[in-house]
Amino acid sequence: MGHPELAAKFTQDVERTHWHDKALWFVREKRDRASKSIPEWEALRRKAQQIKTHTMENLDTYLEAFEKNAKAKGIQVHWAKNAEEHNRITLQILNLHNAKKVVKSKSMLTEECHLNPYLEEQGIEVVDTDLGERIIQFRKEPPSHIVLPAIHLKKEDVSKTFQEHIGTEAGNNDPTYLTRAARAHLREKFLGADVGITGVNYAIADTGGIVVCTNEGNADLGATIPKVHIASMGIEKIIPRLQDLAVFTRLLARSATGQPITSYTSHFHGPIEGGEMHVIIVDNGRSPILGSEHYSQALNCIRCGACMNTCPVYRRSGGFSYEATIPGPIGSTLEPCKDLAKHKTLPYACSLCASCSNVCPIRIDLHHQLYFHRQDVVKAGLLDKKKERALGFAGWLFQHPKVLDFCGKMARKVVPHLPRWMMYSSMNAWGEHREMMDFPEKSFKELYVERQKRKQS
Ligand code: SF4
């Protein structure tokens, strides 16, 4: 199924659609207030864009420097060209330690590599320790948002899920009660874990250290209670110097949740005493994006989720409608880069309003990238036939202004008098969730000509 069909499924529940829309708009407004609290916000965005662009242009140099400096700190560095290699390396490390229990903090890369099902097939218990991630793990769902993985669920859903899996009181929807129950449950998992897996928000080339940002401190427990820490990072997570980090940390939390800073910004510079630390650097389809003409900027993304919170399509269609690890505007540009045929509907899940590009802390030109993808879809002959015919007709109409004027005139005269059953039928997708707009008596062109005449008389 493509995005339109999956979105239609989500919007069937009208109340949930409105609630989802409002919940994300609330976060978007918080982001606006937080960004305005920094007078140099725009300068910071430009600086971040410049650092990322420079890093990507010299990625090989920075990755090698990171490897050298990380190794000097006692970190074992591995390279994986795809998801299979990443998962295999992870399993090898686990087997080496005879590990059967893993605690994992939020990492979109391991999600992309489908690490959990892979390890579970090998008889290893993997527990996601981010609260939202744990909720969806119980429900056997993927995350619907990269920062707020369970944003599609209400507290009533969480209460039911916890009752089923950790035995909380039936019907108790109190968020504090539920959070405490989850904390007690997770503490046990942390204490019994053999290995902790984390993602990487930033890998610093000149120190060889990594930085992980969380609001719950779960990465810190996962990386320090078990003796072995595995950190999985995409090749794009590199920043050149420690001093560059402040630019990104100031932008990240404000853009993501409207907080001045993420609660825990933890630096890992080597294994704990008597332990081991591994970093797996993963390509998995990123190199071709880096070398592409239009889409390389997409790798500058710091996964704040701001483009999702602002996107009018994402807010009303939900994360699952993208059928991709990364949903929303950034997902709609990254995923078609990897498999255009599979994700051919995503570039159209966009109103081209450019709100995503306006909020992106790294100034990624997201809406233009989606526009380029649309052209690629057409060039590859992947456009839906109905849409192709409609666009072909629209193109023809715009080239024949007299016919366009006539059609407009007829529509203004006829449509307002049509019976509702005719207007709000399956023929009119627009009318499915909203009232048709009022048709004006005159077209813009007619009004303009009249105005010019009045001016001249
Ligand atoms: S594209 Fe920009 S706004 Fe969207 S998640 Fe990435 S950094 Fe955030």
Residue nearest to atom 4 of ligand 1 (CA): 307
What's residue 438's pLDDT?
A: 86
The answer to whether the CB of 322 falls within 8 A of the CB of 332 is: yes
Q: Which residue has the higher pLDDT, 374 or 433?
A: 374
CA of 36 to the centre of ligand 1 (A): 18
Residue nearest to atom 8 of ligand 1 (CA): 304
Lookup: tokens for 390 = 């409609």
CA of 81 to the centre of ligand 1 (A): 24
Give the number of the atom of ligand 1 that is nearest the alpha carbon of residue 146: 5
Give the number of the atom of ligand 1 that is nearest the alpha carbon of residue 356: 3
Long-range CB contacts (within 8 A, 24+) of 64-68: 65/205, 65/206, 66/203, 66/204, 66/205, 66/208, 66/238, 67/208, 67/281, 68/208
CA of 364 to the centre of ligand 1 (A): 7
Pocket test for ligand 1, best of 44, 46, 247, 304 (most atoms within 8 A of CB): 304
Mean pLDDT of 142-150: 95
Mean pLDDT for all residues in the chain: 95
Mean pLDDT of 376-382: 95
The answer to whether the CB of 304 falls within 8 A of the CB of 257 is: no
Mean pLDDT of 295-312: 97
**Residue 365 above 90 pLDDT?**
yes
What's residue 309's pLDDT?
A: 98
Give the number of the atom of ligand 1 that is nearest the alpha carbon of residue 303: 5
Mean pLDDT of 27-48: 97
CA dist 194 and 320 (Å) reads 32
CA of 396 to the centre of ligand 1 (A): 37
Lookup: tokens for 278 = 């591994």
Q: pLDDT, tens digit, for every residue of 304-353?
A: 999 999 999 999 999 999 999 999 999 999 999 999 999 999 999 999 99
CA of 300 to the centre of ligand 1 (A): 8
Residues 6+ apart with CB under 8 A from 162: 135, 138, 168, 178, 181, 182
Residue nearest to atom 6 of ligand 1 (CA): 301
**Residue 295 above 80 pLDDT?**
yes
Give the number of the atom of ligand 1 that is nearest the alpha carbon of residue 366: 1
Can you give the pTM of this predicted structure?
0.91
CA of 161 to the centre of ligand 1 (A): 30
CA dist 349 and 314 (Å) reads 8
78 - beta bridge partners? 280
What's residue 313's pLDDT?
A: 97
What's residue 424's pLDDT?
A: 86
Q: How many CB atoms within 10 Å of residue 431?
A: 14
CA of 438 to the centre of ligand 1 (A): 37
Please give all residues whose beta carbon lies within 6 A of any atom in ligand 1, as ranges.
Answer: 255, 301-307, 330, 359-362, 364, 366
Q: pLDDT, tens digit, for every residue of 206-222?
A: 999 999 999 999 999 99
pLDDT band at 86 (very low <50, low <70, confident <90, very high): very high
CA of 14 to the centre of ligand 1 (A): 27
